[in-house]
Structure 1
Amino acid sequence: MHRRSILWGIVSALVSVLVSVLGGALAASRARAASEAPSPTGKLKVAYHLSDIEKVNFVLGNIQNHLDGVGGPENVTIALVIHGPALRAFHSASANADLSRRVQQFSRDGVELAACGKTMKSQNVSLTELLPGFVVADKGGVVRLAELQSRGYLYLRP
């Protein structure tokens, strides 16, 4: 009788381990398949969040690397939402030539350049005073980010 209990315990433990291993393999397989599946439109959608003025060049570099990494703007939809101190870098009167060139290229590539309407008001700047290509996020930058996320955009804050 005692041997049966030991044998049953061993068989039970082996079955438990086997179920665990197979379950893990199945979950990993499903996760891998989901990550490899294209989005319904075939394009990844990404929202970049920028508020720190010291990160302006870093974020613009990330966006360029993103575009290059996926093979160009036709393979990704990118929105850049700017609010707070970072918006000062995009004022036409104070923007440097390199920043202006990059913003112009992003605009041509279809990157949405959204400026927080509330930040614009606090900085006393109009849309015409920002670099060309910007649109106003009337409800605010953080609201725009939430709207984009609700539409399936992935959120990145470098």
Structure 2
Amino acid sequence: MSEHAALKYLLAYPPAVVRQAQSLFDAGELPAWLRRKYPDGHDVQTDKALYQFVAALKQRHLKNAPLPAKVLYDNQQHPLKGTLGTNTMISRVQGGRLKSKSEIRVASLFRELPLPFLQMIAAHELAHLKEREHDKAFYQLCRHMLPDYHQLEFDLRLWLNCRERGLL
């Protein structure tokens, strides 16, 4: 099995990193390592709880950013479709005025994942309130909210590879 076929969520990472992850995966050690590193789930199970969770993170780190109008779990968001979350602006005309509201949708699978992964996707989507593009400023903002953002994103990709094969 080639590296890219086995760990498809790591395609953009350097070959040396992929080889190291691949060797853990091939040895059957990756799922146990991930369970030890991320043993606990979370109780953010409803859309209301998710809204409060995201609002608290926003208030702690992005005081000047507008609060999203909606934050909810979405069954349409899925890694196979290339998306784990979205942040969209919805504009409507109300009484001759144009009103814009942001809406954050998070893949429903985050209900089952460890809390640090939910924190990572929430920080990612909140960063889009200030930075639309995935550029240096965007990732600096993600790291402002979660200093270990990049490690969490990488570990989430490892988790998704294992989960997809029924190993987690």
TM-score when normalising by structure 1: 0.27
TM-score when normalising by structure 2: 0.26
